[in-house]
């Protein structure tokens, strides 16, 4: 048992890995190619949504932009994470994604670079979400899966693609988090 523990500790130090405690321990690259650390959103709730431009749920961009406009001055961040994981329904480059989102839906909220959101190759934040919530609730099953993160970086909610961004169960959670700020 002691050998296993020593090996595990050595492996952590050798790989530089560390256990993440909150979503703020992770970082993305923005759709513009700049660093996008989640720690930059500390103190603000974040609605994290994996997106795709050619999905049957793409119309939800409109409601995501509306949430952003309604609550951003109170502190909400809507963060779009473009992904090819479900039927290759996204453009192949960040420039194409950004142009589509801005011209078609007037998207102004922050977006990440193209990311993997499920499986072993998933972005580390998405692997952490699966660990925190369990694979059934913590792994997106399709595009426009939504996670709500608290201002301290904990997961407070997850909703499938079928739940609209402006649904009462989502807005109630957002408003409760904003009221605590």
Classify residue 101: in a domain, yes or no. yes
Catalytic position from the list 36, 38, 49, 55: 55
- Contact indicator for 55, 162 with CB cutoff of 8 Å: no
SS3 at position 25 = helix
Tell me the whole-structure pTM to 2 decimals: 0.88
Number of domains in the chain: 1
Distance CA 119, CA 73 (A): 35
The pair of three-digit structure tokens given for residue 103, joined into one six-digit string: 């011209």
> How do residues 36-69 score in pLDDT, each as one tens digit?
999 999 999 999 999 999 999 999 999 999 999 9
Query: Does 97 reside within a domain?
Result: yes
CA 64 to CA 44: how far, in whole Å? 16
Is 12 inside any structural domain? no
- pLDDT score recorded for residue 181: 80
What is the pLDDT confidence band of residue 20, given thresholds at 50, 70 and 90? confident
Selection from 51, 48, 47 nearest residue 143 by Cα: 51
Choose between 45 and 12: higher pLDDT.
45
Full domain range(s) for residue 131? 22-180
Answer whether residue 10 shows pLDDT above 60.
no
Sign of CA dihedral 37, 44, 99, 120: positive
Task: Identify whether 3 is part of a domain.
Answer: no
Is there a domain that residue 28 lies in? Answer: yes
Confirm whether 154 is domain-assigned: yes
Q: What are phi and psi of 126, to 5 degrees?
A: -70, -35
* CATH number of the domain within which 139 lies: 3.40.30.10
The pLDDT of residue 15: 35
CA distance 115 to 20: 19
pLDDT digits (tens, 9 = 90+) for 82-140: 999 999 999 999 999 999 999 999 999 999 999 999 999 999 999 999 999 998 899 99
Residue 67 falls within a domain, yes or no?
yes
Instruction: Note whether residue 5 is domain-resident.
Output: no
Identify whether 101 is a catalytic site residue.
Answer: no
């Amino acid at each position: 048992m002691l050998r296993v523990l020593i090996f595990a500790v050595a492996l952590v130090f050798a790989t530089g890995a560390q256990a993440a405690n909150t979503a703020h321990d992770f970082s993305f690259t923005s759709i513009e190619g700049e660093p996008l650390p989640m720690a930059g959103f500390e103190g603000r709730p974040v609605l994290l949504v994996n997106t795709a431009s050619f999905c049957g749920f793409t119309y939800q961009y409109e409601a995501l932009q509306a949430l952003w406009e309604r609550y951003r001055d109170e502190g909400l961040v809507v963060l779009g994470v473009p992904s090819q994981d479900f039927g290759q329904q996204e453009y192949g480059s960040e420039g194409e994604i950004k142009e589509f989102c801005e011209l078609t839906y007037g998207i102004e909220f922050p977006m990440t670079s193209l990311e993997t959101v499920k499986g072993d190759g998933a972005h580390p934040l998405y692997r952490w979400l699966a660990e925190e919530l369990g694979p059934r609730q913590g792994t997106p099953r399709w595009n426009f899966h939504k996670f709500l993160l608290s201002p301290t970086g904990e997961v407070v909610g997850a909703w499938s693609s079928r739940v609209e961004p402006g649904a009462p169960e989502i807005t109630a959670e957002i408003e409760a988090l904003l009221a605590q700020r």
